[in-house]
Structure 1
Amino acid sequence: MRALLPYLREHRAALALAVLLALVGSAAALAQPLLVQRVLDGVGAGRAVGGAVALLVVLMLGTAVVSSAQQYLLQRTGEGVVLTARRGLAEHLLRLPVVEYDRRAGGDLVSRLGADTTQLRAVITSGAVEALSGVVVVAGALVAMLLIDPLLLAVTVAAVAAGAGVVATAARRLRALSRVVQERVGDMTAAVTRALRGVRTIRASGAEEREVAAVGRSAEAAYGASLRVARLEALVAPAMALATQGSFLLVLALGGARVASGALGVGELVAFVLYLFLLVLPLAQALRAFATLQTGLGALGRIEEVRALPRETDGDPAAAPPPVPGAPVLELDGVSFAYEEGVPVLHAVSFAVPRGTRTALVGPSGSGKSTLLALVERFYDPTAGAVRLEGVDVREVPRAALRARTGYVEQEAPALAGSLRDNLLLAAPGATDADLVRVLAEVNLADLAHRTPAGLDAPVGDGGVMLSGGERQRLALARVLLARPPLLLLDEPTSNLDARNEVALRGAVDAVAADRTLVVVAHRLSTVVDADQIVVLDAGRVVAVGRHEELVRTSPLYRELAASQLLVARS
């Protein structure tokens, strides 16, 4: 419940009004049996009852109006709580350290943002406030029934307590079971997300049936968990119905006998029966609300599990330490790194990138080239050594300031669902249409802006599926060039390009790199033979540094890579 309070804080005024309306409605409901008793006693005594009847009608209508207003207010507040939860969770999800995305299934995180936050609505609309109003009505009804006939009250409490005990026992188990349900739903969402993201690969592999079966197994697990919750919830209504019917029959039997003996008046018996319904129905409502609350708190536990994960920490970009005069733009000093403890990927990597130069990182697959760029961007921090930007350890530079000074093009070059304009404006939201058209031309994508009547607003599809691999790569480069950062980090920018577009892209990179520092990961050595320095990596270690001609003579590994790509003759 303490974890729920932050979600309620900004809605406290609406909740206070809902509670006030609930109390007013409860008071009006508790007054009605007394008025019915007065009417019946007045009719029996031959007194005028017009005023009491009119007041009863006014109370009934007022109760209906108050109840309607309360329900709308609760529904609106419930939606507001869901909105607050979703905003907060989405903001937190997008700021988690990259390592958390490596560990967790994206579909499960999406499920927490969708299905789990939806459960919070029921906590407000059918949970806490209704439980409170139910408690008020039950307390008032008990007092009134005690004043009318303590013996009938004792019989009623005994019958109702038996049903309430069953309901409370079932409700206490619901939180744990509902959490299991949400976890199984998360697993199912993850399975579906995985299948949809790889649908082309799945179909090309003829694996549709196996993937359908995998999703089906996840759905069956969610179904089984939901059935366990349904079985518990199925105890609630029958138990309370049995308690209600039993107490009603006992009151009628015993109350009728007491009326016949003269110990109780007819009006008092009718009032007691009405209070009995006011006792049992709100009590059942309160117990159902308690069960709903347990379900919602189970979902809240999954939300808070993610909210408890540490976010990427950052400081004030204006507080970034000043550059060290004369220091290289980028320097790696004894950098080691492991994704998993005890399984190092990089071993004491050291090299420097002078200002205005081009440095290429080459080596066999798995040698750690892309990991080095990820460390520069601070997606991860080194386990040993230091990465320095202009002489300052990047761990001392706020991430926002660091990433504003670097432009990073990933190896997979993803395009986000949306339009060309949406993708280009990610790094430079203030760019004009003329800027967008210019940068597209620089990477040989000018035709994209004129391919359809939509122009820059043409959709690229989910993950850029409406673009070719090369177009996605060049679009990613255009996005980075638009921000004009002083340091460019390119992870295999030409891997998906044909020879013609590779030449065009190299020309674009040459043009924009004239006044920038460039670090590029390359498998095609032909694209980096003119680099100012080439760093050769093997199994996470630097094995050679130099220019192309020098490395051909001095580095067996580089010579082998160059020979395999027909850049030199095999020895």
Structure 2
Amino acid sequence: MSAKPRRIDLRTLLPYLRPHRGVLLLVAALSLIGTLATLLQPLLTRAVLDAIGASRPAGRFVGGLVALLAVVAMLNALRDYLLQRTAEGVVLASRRRLAGHLLRLPIAEYDARRTGDLLSRVGADTTLLRAVVTSGLIDLGSGVIMISGAVVAMVLLDPLMFAVTVVGVALALGTGMMIARRVRPAARAAQERIGDMTSTVERALTAARTTRASRAEERETLAVGAAAQAAYEAGLRAARLQAWIGPVGVAAIQGAFLLVLGIGGARVADGSLSVGDLVAFVLFLFFLVMPLGRILNVYTQLQLGLAALERMHEVLDLPLEADASDPQPLVRSAPAVEFDGVEFAYAGGPPVLRGVSFAAPVGARTALVGPSGAGKSSILALIERFYEVDAGAVRVNGVDVRRLPREVLRGRLGYVEQEAPVLAGTLRANLLLTVPAATDAELLAVLDAVNLSDLVTRTPDGLDAEVGEGGVLLSGGERQRLAIARTLLASPPVLLLDEPTSNLDARNEAALRAAIDAVSTDRTMIIVAHRLSTVVDADQIVVLDEGRVAAVGRHDELLVSSPLYRELATHQFLAT
């Protein structure tokens, strides 16, 4: 994505956590109790050592220490479970939000972006939020409490040894923070390379048959390998930075302990410090340094999570498909569809439509014909408002499509794409995509209308028969007819058919034409066709050439008045 991403900080994470604030408050309470209980352990340990040194009974202190350890363990287990559950909830909510946003982006955004990279944002990037919630929040909160308690106790026990400790820990912590700040851009780069790799794999798998037929397996394998290598190298760069953070923390622990043991041992030897005080100070030092190390790790995890949030919000910040700014009521007496001086070009491309004007009357069948690249399919896309016109207007029942709510507009349109996509799943699932409440009788009727009844009887599964990924278990013609059946089931007032017979043989073409004739009563149809035999009986034929309307009329009229149409008809043996 070329646009510079906006800066993401911890405030961006708050909306993801807000629905879980009750559980997080409970986790914070458990963490506070557990931390305070942990801070009591050095004091009980000192009491045990002092009692043993003075030959006094130490059983009650030992019992209290054991009980304290058990309580801390149970509190931490409950806390960690609640955090894991919350983290999964955050990931679930972020995936739902991101997927919902992706499915509502303008179609032009899909044209400009790679599917694999978008999938990576929903999968890999959202997963990084889990670590931020599980390790990040609790370690940050409990670490601050633990450090505060340890600092107070160490100052009270021995200010001199505390001062020595602070110098060593501060140096190590400052170095670690400088390293951790560099993790975020490295992590972002690694996630981008993962997106690139996912896109490459997605392309190779989608075109698997073409790849095999072209004997290009080795080239595609090399391409995937190169993308994987780039992701590997980007991951290594992030890993090298992360690898330094652990040793820095260990160095802080070791250095601090050596200093304390050296100075504390000397003070015990001269009698200015008891053995119990030294052990307690060492334990408090442990409770100081270990949370600092975890906080440093938390900072690193936050950088990883914020890098993922940046990539997620690059998508979430994209504007959704525009809806009607000033909704207008339909005009029933107006043409079903009307183009008025429409100019249109795809982003970064040459003009596709140049001043296109025509009207499709209500209840009539309008055909769009012309050479490849004349703009026929683009007209259907503009009616559906997949794209915005550059000039002019597209009207449905007298209202500019920009003044119709999307639900109203698309509720009046039935659209069958040229590729006739079939979704992975069953016959039933594909048909119910448009009308979820349709009955089995209605499903069987619409399949019969497009000559697909044999699909139901072909296997014992009937309507629950699988069609395979992308409809691979169906023939090209069957996929085309299933897509048409799915559209016919909704019974929209306007049908937009883009090359409906492109994959059909003569027999099935005749059957489909009969089905279209049967459903076209009192319904407007706009059909894009290269095969003129399917539209010779249309009420009007719009001839397009290089993005302009070259002629409008019926078949017999155009054979006389339009040289281009006559040429097309002659090539298809339809000219008399």
TM-score range, shorter chain: over 0.9
Please name the residue that 1:161 is paired with: 170
For residue 308 of structure 2, the aligned residue among 299, 302, 306 is 299
- What is the root-mean-square deviation in Å for CA atoms of aligned residues? 1.3
Trace 1:95-106 onto structure 2 (pairs within 5 A). Answer: 95-106=104-115
For residue 477 of structure 2, the aligned residue among 470, 474, 482 is 470
**Contact 1:314/1:400 (8 A) holds in 2:** no
Letter in 2 for 1:523: H
Please name the residue that 1:181 is paired with: 190
Instruction: Name the CA distance, whole Å, in 2 between partners of 1:160 and 1:322.
Output: 71
Please name the residue that 2:405 is paired with: 398
Instruction: Name the CA distance, whole Å, in 1 between partners of 2:282 and 2:443.
Output: 76
Letter in 1 for 2:538: A
Residue 11 of structure 2: SS of its match in structure 1? coil
**Contact 1:116/1:303 (8 A) holds in 2:** yes
Displacement after TM superposition at 1:93 (Å):
0.8
Please name the residue that 1:533 is paired with: 540
Please name the residue that 2:392 is paired with: 385
Displacement after TM superposition at 1:162 (Å):
2.2
For residue 274 of structure 2, the aligned residue among 257, 265, 272 is 265
**Contact 1:320/1:401 (8 A) holds in 2:** no
For residue 551 of structure 1, the aligned residue among 526, 534, 558 is 558
For residues 381-437 of structure 1, what are the alpha-carbon distances to aligned partners after superposition, in whole Å with 9 as ceiling and x for unaligned? 111111111111111111111111110000000001110000001111111001111
Residue 488 of structure 1: SS of its match in structure 2? strand
**Contact 1:427/1:480 (8 A) holds in 2:** yes
Please name the residue that 2:251 is paired with: 242
**Contact 2:193/2:227 (8 A) holds in 1:** yes
Residue 363 of structure 2: SS of its match in structure 1? coil
Structure 1: stretches of 5+ with no match in the other structure: none
Please name the residue that 2:510 is paired with: 503
Displacement after TM superposition at 1:51 (Å):
2.7
Please name the residue that 1:424 is paired with: 431
Displacement after TM superposition at 1:322 (Å):
2.4
For residue 26 of structure 1, the aligned residue among 18, 35, 38 is 35
For residue 91 of structure 2, the aligned residue among 60, 82, 97 is 82
Please name the residue that 1:512 is paired with: 519
Instruction: Name the CA distance, whole Å, in 2 between partners of 1:189 and 1:341.
Output: 26
**Contact 1:378/1:394 (8 A) holds in 2:** yes
- Bigger mean CA offset, 128-137 vs 138-147: 128-137
**Contact 2:499/2:528 (8 A) holds in 1:** yes
- Bigger mean CA offset, 158-167 vs 280-289: 158-167
**TM-score normalised to the size of structure 1?**
0.98
1:309 aligns with 2:315: no
For residue 332 of structure 1, the aligned residue among 318, 339, 356 is 339
Displacement after TM superposition at 1:89 (Å):
0.7
**Contact 2:324/2:402 (8 A) holds in 1:** no
Displacement after TM superposition at 1:240 (Å):
1.2
Instruction: Name the CA distance, whole Å, in 1 between partners of 2:349 and 2:496.
Output: 28
For residue 94 of structure 1, the aligned residue among 103, 111, 115 is 103
Please name the residue that 2:286 is paired with: 277
For residues 474-514 of structure 1, what are the alpha-carbon distances to aligned partners after superposition, in whole Å with 9 as ceiling and x for unaligned? 00110011000011000010000000000000000000001
For residues 166-214 of structure 1, what are the alpha-carbon distances to aligned partners after superposition, in whole Å with 9 as ceiling and x for unaligned? 2111111111111111100000000000010000001100111111011
Instruction: Name the CA distance, whole Å, in 2 between partners of 1:423 and 1:297.
Output: 39
Q: Residues 315 and 334 (structure 1 numbering): CA distance in 2 closer, same or farther, change over 3 Å? A: closer
Instruction: Name the CA distance, whole Å, in 1 between partners of 2:158 and 2:276.
Output: 12
Displacement after TM superposition at 1:523 (Å):
0.2
**Contact 1:337/1:382 (8 A) holds in 2:** yes
Displacement after TM superposition at 1:465 (Å):
1.0
For residue 444 of structure 1, the aligned residue among 428, 451, 454 is 451
Displacement after TM superposition at 1:351 (Å):
0.4
For residues 316-363 of structure 1, what are the alpha-carbon distances to aligned partners after superposition, in whole Å with 9 as ceiling and x for unaligned? 9xx953222421111111111111256211011000111111000000
Please name the residue that 2:46 is paired with: 37
Instruction: Name the CA distance, whole Å, in 1 between partners of 2:185 and 2:191.
Output: 10
Displacement after TM superposition at 1:218 (Å):
0.5
Instruction: Name the CA distance, whole Å, in 2 between partners of 1:532 and 1:186.
Output: 49
Instruction: Name the CA distance, whole Å, in 1 between partners of 2:246 and 2:337.
Output: 68
**Contact 2:136/2:301 (8 A) holds in 1:** yes
Instruction: Name the CA distance, whole Å, in 1 between partners of 2:568 and 2:12.
Output: 57
1:494 aligns with 2:501: yes
**Contact 1:128/1:293 (8 A) holds in 2:** no
Residue 345 of structure 2: SS of its match in structure 1? strand
Please name the residue that 1:354 is paired with: 361
Please name the residue that 1:136 is paired with: 145
**Contact 1:132/1:286 (8 A) holds in 2:** no
Instruction: Name the CA distance, whole Å, in 1 between partners of 2:349 and 2:287.
Output: 66
Please name the residue that 1:255 is paired with: 264
**Contact 2:499/2:527 (8 A) holds in 1:** yes
Instruction: Name the CA distance, whole Å, in 1 between partners of 2:506 and 2:29.
Output: 73
Please name the residue that 2:5 is paired with: none
Instruction: Name the CA distance, whole Å, in 2 between partners of 1:213 and 1:4.
Output: 39
Percent identity over the alignment?
63
Instruction: Name the CA distance, whole Å, in 1 between partners of 2:372 and 2:332.
Output: 36
Instruction: Name the CA distance, whole Å, in 1 between partners of 2:148 and 2:358.
Output: 76
**Contact 1:534/1:545 (8 A) holds in 2:** yes
Instruction: Name the CA distance, whole Å, in 2 between partners of 1:243 and 1:323.
Output: 73
1:485 aligns with 2:502: no
Please name the residue that 1:456 is paired with: 463
Letter in 2 for 1:446: S
**Contact 1:166/1:235 (8 A) holds in 2:** no
